[in-house]
Amino acid sequence: MPDGLQNKVIFQQVVELLQNARQQVLRTVNSTMTITYFEIGRIIVEEEQNGKDRAGYGKQLLKTLSKQLTKEFGRGFSIDNLENMRKLFLTFSKSETLSRILEIQKIQSVTAEFESQKTQSVSAEFNKLDYQTLSSFFKLSFSHYIFLMRIDDEKERRFYKIESEKNNWSVRELKRQYDTALYARLALSRDKEGVLELSEKGQIIEKPKDLIKDPYILEFLGLPELHQYSESQLEEEIINKLEHFLLELGHGFTFVGRQQRITFDDKHFRIDLVFYNRILKCFVLIDLKIGELKHQDLGQMQMYVNYYDREMRLEDENKTIGIVLCQNKSEAVVKYTLPENNEQIFASKYKTVLPSVEVLKELLENK
């Protein structure tokens, strides 16, 4: 191997090691601080429960504690932030996993107190906590949990927590996924057992249908809701915001190319966008359509999929998936154009503006 290439390889390996180390340090810091705030929240709640006038006592307690902690440690201990710590404990201590942890710690605390015949100090109690177990639960930053606590539905909250952990979502990306009602959109295509699995495991991709969302939310393109743009303009904007589009597509997608040409019988056809999904190990073809979906659009996609299966797919790869993204579609057209056992061709609507979360949730409830 030439020296220049070898140096480049070594440099890249070192860079990856350092980046992984920094990410690990950041995760550790985030976890430790969140656990600390969780424990502060527990102390506040337990002290409030000892007060006679709980509401009045709790309010005064936060005010006094805020003043003292700010004097000792500086910023970060406002009354609002202490209230968030309190809420962190109240919200996540109800988790089945953490409830078991807290019960074990309570038993350990009582046993230790009995053996020493005196009340333990806060610092000693604090050091006895099972940090390894707690850190396996609290993997995100405190800012993530502040946002998660705003989600009232526990199943939905668990889903976004799991997905944030799996995909290393920033708080900004977490907010976007929530604002675009990712949970509701995925839940729409699942039965009750599938919805429960979402809340316990996040999005699990085992078959082509697991990849599909309906609708896809493309608000990041900055296009108007009305179709005052062409399909080529839509494609161009997607390419310009490819990173955002990949996040919207979901797990395991890599970009292969645009306007991929296939030729047979001296005729040329072009597929708008070609991706590969590393989880399902298959090509994913996407065609963009402005306006109403027609049965010809599905037939054309079937031809593309057949071509890729017969000419492009390797022996160890799975069958190609085709998605037609359109502004509007008739479920009847989709139903009677595609075979009953269809697992390869899908039609989904897309929205270029954020729909109401309430509207999508209403669809879920009426499912």
Same domain flag for 239 and 118: no
Domain range for residue 45? 3-139
Give the count of beta carbons closer than 10 Å to the beta carbon of residue 314: 7
Same domain flag for 120 and 215: no
Q: Which amino acid is at 229?
A: Y
Distance CA 349, CA 331 (A): 11
Give the CA angle between residues 289, 295, 299 to the nearest 5°. 90
Question: Is residue 150 included in any domain, yes or no?
Answer: no
How many Å is the Cα radius of gyration of the chain?
26
Domain boundary among 139, 169, 199: 139
pLDDT of 119 higher than 50: no
Question: Is residue 252 included in any domain, yes or no?
Answer: yes
CA separation, residue 130 to residues 121, 127, 136, 139, 141 (Å): 17, 8, 10, 15, 19
| 257 phi/psi in degrees, rounded to 5 | 175, 170
The DSSP secondary structure of 179-247, one letter per residue, reads HTTHHHHHHTTS-HHHHHHHHHH----SSGGGG--SSEE-GGG---SS--S-HHHHHHHHHHTHHHHHH
Which residues are registered as beta bridge partners of 289?
326
Question: Is residue 8 included in any domain, yes or no?
Answer: yes
Which residues are registered as beta bridge partners of 253?
277
Question: Is residue 184 included in any domain, yes or no?
Answer: no
Question: Is residue 276 included in any domain, yes or no?
Answer: yes
Same domain flag for 19 and 132: yes
Which residues are registered as beta bridge partners of 12?
none
| Overall residue count recorded for the chain in this entry | 367
- What mean pLDDT comes out for the span 303-309? 94
Location of structure tokens 């800012």: 143
pLDDT in tens, 235-274: 999 999 999 999 899 888 999 999 999 988 888 999 999 9
Same domain flag for 13 and 93: yes
CATH of the domain at 248: 3.40.1350.10
Question: Is residue 11 included in any domain, yes or no?
Answer: yes
pLDDT band at residue 122 using 50, 70 and 90 as cut-offs: very low
pLDDT in tens, 216-240: 989 888 887 766 788 999 999 999 9
- 10 Å CB burial of residue 212 (0-12, 13-18, 19+) is middle
Same domain flag for 219 and 333: yes
| 2 phi/psi in degrees, rounded to 5 | -60, 150
Question: Is residue 19 included in any domain, yes or no?
Answer: yes
- Which residue, among 133, 138, 82, has the nearest Cα to 105 in the 3D structure? 133
The mean predicted confidence, pLDDT, of the chain is: 81
Same domain flag for 213 and 349: yes
The count of structural domains within the chain is 2
Same domain flag for 135 and 254: no
What is the per-residue pLDDT for 319?
A: 95
Same domain flag for 350 and 220: yes
Least confident of 14-28, 253-267, 344-358: 14-28
Which residues are registered as beta bridge partners of 288?
325
Between the CA atoms of 104, 110, 115 and 117, what dihedral angle is there, to the nearest 10 degrees?
160
Question: Is residue 195 included in any domain, yes or no?
Answer: no
Domain boundary among 101, 119, 139: 139
pLDDT in tens, 149-204: 999 888 899 999 999 998 889 999 999 999 888 888 887 767 777 777 888 888 88
Distance CA 299, CA 303 (A): 6
Q: What pTM value is reported for the model?
A: 0.73
Q: Which two tokens stand for residue 89?
A: 């404990």
List alpha helices for the chain, DSSP H. 3-50, 54-73, 79-92, 96-116, 122-127, 131-137, 142-148, 154-167, 171-179, 182-187, 192-201, 231-240, 242-249, 295-307, 331-337, 357-365
Domain boundary among 139, 172, 191: 139
